Every structure is written in structure tokens, then in C-alpha cells.
Amino acid sequence: MGSAQPNRRESLRIALKKAGDEVKGAALASDAFFPFAWKDVVEEACENGIGVIAEPGGSIRDGDAIDCCNKYGVSLVFTRLFEAKT
């Protein structure tokens, strides 16, 4: 758990440190979408052995998160997609 940090990457690093060796294959969940994937939280999580990422989706860059997870063989689950209201 790396909650209450103003920086999403630092939050991830705290959670990875707390998990230690148990991070391999673990799940990462976010209460917000990831605005960036490459060279950011999604890729760093994948590189550190996270096996599943869950997030609400809704970013215009959700496709980047999908592509990044596919590259690393990590499952990505969208918990809720946002739809534009007219």
C-alpha cells in the first residue's frame, strides 16, 4: 500500500518496497486512471513483477496502458469505463 502520496510513482515505489519479494505476480489496484503508461507507473509496475493491474479507466491514453501491459504479459482490468454525457 502506497496511499496518500501526491506523486503516483512514489506511491508505487512505497508499495513495491513494502511488498518485497511478494511483489512477483501480485495485483496492483488504483482508484484513478493512469494518465501515462510508458516510463511511468504502469511500466514500472510491470518491470517489477506485478502480475495484474486494476484501474477504473477513462484516460485518453488507456490504449497505452493496454499496450504496455501486453508487452510485459501483465493482465489489465478496467473496473469502470467512463462515458461522455451529452
Supply the DSSP symbol for 31: S
Q: Which CATH number fits the domain that encloses residue 32? A: 3.40.140.20
The pTM is what?
Answer: 0.86
The total domain count for the chain is 1
> Is 84 inside any structural domain?
no
Q: C-alpha angle with apex 44: 15 to 6, nearest 5 degrees?
A: 55
CA 47-52-57 angle, to 5 degrees, is 100
Over residues 67-79, mean pLDDT: 97
Number of other CB atoms surrounding residue 12 within 10 Å: 21
Residue 12, in any domain of the structure: no
Answer yes or no: is 44 within a domain. yes
CA distance 29 to 1: 10
pLDDT tens per residue, range 6-65: 788 999 999 999 999 999 999 999 988 999 899 999 999 999 999 999 999 989 999 999
Q: What grid cell was written down for 28?
A: 496492483
Look up the domain containing 56 and give its range.
21-78
Residues 13, 60: Cα–Cα separation, whole Å: 25
Within-domain flag for 85: no
